[in-house]
Amino acid sequence: MEYRLTIVVPVYNEEDNLLRVESEFNAYFKTAKAKSKVLFVNDGSKDTSLDIIKDICARSTDFEYIAFTENCGLSAAIKAGFDHADTELVGYIDSDLQTAPDDFNILIEEIGPYDLVTGVRADRQDSFVKNMSSKIANGIRRSFTHDGMDDTGCPLKIIKTDYAQRIPMFKGLHRFLPAMILLQEGKVKQVPVRHFPRVAGEAKFGVWNRLLGPLMDCFAYLWMKKKYINYKVGNSSRG
């Protein structure tokens, strides 16, 4: 049975979480509504993350990896994962597992007529400051993009791969995935998913880059929207 979904898992210094990632995905694979595999993208980790990833991939063909030579950031890791996917669908989840692999089954049920389905973190298990900064950042982004999304920072998404691979590379793209699908005249939907507190490792984003980063990225998005080229091929000699 061929894989239908590649799930991109960006990794930067997450050695304390990776064996749990392996365990939870092995459990998910048994109930997955679409044949799935994991693609780790090691973003220049300075701890033992890459060694652990190699061991996980050696234990099962349901896990693959690519590794950057240096740290390039979350957006680069996500985009590289999308570009390396060879399945009909591509997903994304963070390696801290504050969202659950099992909830990909919720997104799979909705993807049919849509080109992106994203989670919305219900009963979010973060600090007051983190929650408020994210709400403010989402409000700023919505005022620029008009994408109708309540929680683009939710690290649980499924996208049709041909749409994902047409997203241009830019820093901050992880905040604009629904907007970039809409630029391609695609359809997007959001559905509630579970959220959990981080149990190991350290968060990679603070209040400052949750607020200032999205504001700066919004201006980059507006420039890109003005310059964006969208086309559809009607036919060709290739059939």
Domain chopping of the chain, boundaries: 5-131+151-206
Residue 202 confidence (pLDDT): 62
Residue 61 confidence (pLDDT): 97
Yes or no: say if 103 and 32 are a contact pair by the CB < 8 Å rule. Answer: no
Site of tokens 């993350």? 49
pLDDT in tens, the chain (239 residues): 799 999 999 999 999 999 999 999 999 999 999 999 999 999 999 999 999 999 999 999 999 999 999 999 999 999 999 999 999 999 999 999 989 999 999 999 999 999 999 998 876 555 545 655 666 566 666 666 667 676 777 889 999 999 999 988 777 777 788 888 998 999 999 999 987 766 665 655 555 555 566 667 777 777 777 777 777 778 888 75
Distance from C-alpha of 35 to C-alpha of 198, rounded to nearest angstrom = 27
Distance from C-alpha of 186 to C-alpha of 182, rounded to nearest angstrom = 5
Residue 143 confidence (pLDDT): 62
Distance from C-alpha of 157 to C-alpha of 51, rounded to nearest angstrom = 27
**Residue 131, SS3?**
helix
Dihedral (Cα; 97, 170, 229, 107), 10-degree rounding: 0
89: left (phi over 0), alpha (psi -120 to 50) or beta: beta
Residue 16 confidence (pLDDT): 94
Give the CATH number of domain 5-131+151-206.
Answer: 3.90.550.10
Q: Is this model's pTM higher than 0.95 or not? A: no
> What's the number of CA atoms in the CB half-sphere (13 Å) around residue 228?
21
